[in-house]
Structure formats: structure tokens, C-alpha cells
Amino acid sequence: MDLVVVGASGFIGRHLVAALSARGDSVRVVGRDPRRLDRLFPRARRFAWDPAAGPLPADAVAGCDAVVNLAGEGVADRAWTPARKTLLRASRLDAARGIVRAIEALGAGERPAAFLQGSAIGYYGERGEAELDESSTPGDNFLAWICRDLEAEARRAADVGTRVVVLRTGIVLGVEGGALPRLVLPFRLFVGGPLGNGRQWMSWIHRRDQIGLILHALDRREIAGALNLTAPRPARNVEVARAIGVALGRPAIMPTPRFALRLALGERVDFLLGSERVLPRAALASGYAFAFPEIGPALRDLLATG
């Protein structure tokens, strides 16, 4: 296949491009920094694009089989000031809108057959003990509002005949980026433990399954609409802490109280302490077999090789 990956230089994007190339697909990469694209992907067709400047150039997507959009500023990277919240929202909506406009501008024979839009389980909001799947209603907080509006933008591509899949990603575990290095650091310093009371649900996914599910969604034409990218067995935060401790041979007995996290992180604490018990029912129904369905083996694999 001939595929376009927007946000290719990010944590997931780099692994996705490598996986696509390894199986023989042709890949076009899109990002804001042309020098970074040149360095990371010297053999790929490269397109520099700033979503705030306007639609994606039509030649970046013309004639391709599918587009995967992973663009967006990191949610947990910096404090959620009003300016930062505006950027978090704009970086996602501008990219989705710009890609859809590029697809709409193409003739019927040049449009991609599929558009996979990165979203997040933040769509569901704080839901406590409730089991959530792709049919669940959206939540009512900042991240949920972003995800809801982002998915609405992406779904407009379906109006011109492109299959749309929204990838509601959980906490991606990988040693090269994402949440795991931050979760692991206190344990390496012998001060690791659960966050808050530890009872909140964490809907996680091993990086290998994250990539595997994106490839699965690209290849299976019957998959459309929402797709939860989470392991089938979410874990409570205290279970994750214990599993990290076991994998590293470190104690997991030093809880970090909620008030300390709020002092350090401000509103971002809700991202860490929110409870979302999300199940990948659409993925399982479509026949995807998870390499890492349980948190213990997933962490042992990552931390043994990382």
C-alpha cells in the first residue's frame, strides 16, 4: 500500500513508519520540521506542513491508499495554562481539518480509501468503575471536549466516500517515550508506588499492540468508526505500580498523595488520576489477537529490553 503518516516524527509515528516499511508498504511522511523529517526518514517522501497555515497540500495525499493522522501537542508535557489548552486543541483540530480539506479537494479517483484519525480514551472522561466501550457516550471535561470535536472533524471525510476510523488510544507503554519512563523513574530511585489512592483504572496498551492495531485497522476494510486501542484487561493504578516494582525488583510502597500531585501538576493531575475502564470490544470482535493482554507480562517485556 501507499500510505501517508502525519505526525510521523512522534513516539508512535516513528514506530508506525518503521513497521509499514518493514512489511513493504510505501510511506509518505508529514511533519512540521523538515530537518527532523530529513534526519529520521531519509528514504521516504517527505512533506513539511504546519496545520495552522492551511490545508495539507493535495499532492501529499493524492493517489494514496490511506492517511494516518497522529499529529498533536503532548497532553502531559507542560502545565495547562490557558494558552497551552488553546494549543492542545488547535494542534489537533487544525491537523484533522486540514487533512479532510485536502481529501475533499481531490477527485474521486485520487482520494484515499481510508483515513485513520488519532484520538484518545480521554473521549470518555472520568467514569469511575463503569466499563466503557466504543458505544459509550463522551465525557464532560477538557480532554473529552477536544476528542469529541476532533472526531467530528475527521468523520467529515466519510461524506466523500473515505472510510474513517478514530483511534481512541489509551496509555501507550514503551521505553522510548510516552508515559512509561515517567512512571518508572520513581521506582528506579526506590520511591515508587501508586498515585493517589491507587484505585483508579488505567487503560493501557503495549506499544507493539498499538502499532499492531493500527496496521489491523488499515488492512481490515470492514473496520470503521471508533476503535479503542487499549489492552483487554485494564488495571488499577496500584496493580500497575506493583507490576513495575516486580519487573524492576524495586519496592512499590510509597504512594504519592493527590494533593502533592495537584501542587506539582495543576489541572493535569486529572489526566493521571482519572479513572477510565475502557475495553477494546471492536478490536476483539474484528479478530485482533493482543500480544500483551495483561499488564505484568507487558511491563516485564518492556523493562527487560529497555
For residue 221, the tally of other CB atoms under 10 A from its CB is 10
Do 221 and 187 form a contact (C-beta atoms < 8 A)? no
pLDDT band at 301 (very low <50, low <70, confident <90, very high): very high
Instruction: Tell me the CATH architecture of domain 2-172+205-231+278-291.
Output: 3-Layer(aba) Sandwich (3.40)
Predicted confidence at residue 189, as pLDDT, reads: 82
Residue 30: predicted pLDDT: 97
% the chain with pLDDT above 70 = 93
Question: Band of the pLDDT at 264, cuts 50, 70, 90?
Answer: very low
Rounded average pLDDT over 107-133: 94
Tell me the C-alpha distance between 277 and 274, whole Å.
10
Q: What pLDDT shows up at residue 159?
A: 97
Grid coordinates given for 31: 511533519
pLDDT for 185-217, tens place per residue? 888 888 788 887 888 999 999 999 999 999 999
What is the residue-wise DSSP string for the chain?
-EEEEETTTSHHHHHHHHHHHHTT-EEEEEES-HHHHHHH-TTSEEEE--GGGSSPPGGGTTT-SEEEE-----TTSS---HHHHHHHHHHHHHHHHHHHHHHHHS-TTTS-SEEEEEEEGGGG---TT-EE-TTSPP-SSHHHHHHHHHHHHHHGGGGGT-EEEEEEE-EEEETTEESHHHHHHHHHTT----BTTS-SEE-EEEHHHHHHHHHHHHH-TT--EEEEES-SS-EEHHHHHHHHHHHHT------B-HHHHHHHHGGGHHHHH---EE--HHHHHTT---S--SHHHHHHHHHHH-
State mean pLDDT over 58-62. Answer: 93
The pLDDT of residue 267: 54
pLDDT the model gives residue 305: 57
Q: What percent of the chain has pLDDT over 90?
A: 72
pTM equals 0.92
* pLDDT-based confidence at residue 227 (cuts at 50, 70, 90): very high
Higher model confidence: residue 54 or residue 271? 54
Q: For position 289, what pLDDT does the model report?
A: 98
Average pLDDT over residues 109-134: 95
Cell of 152: 467530528
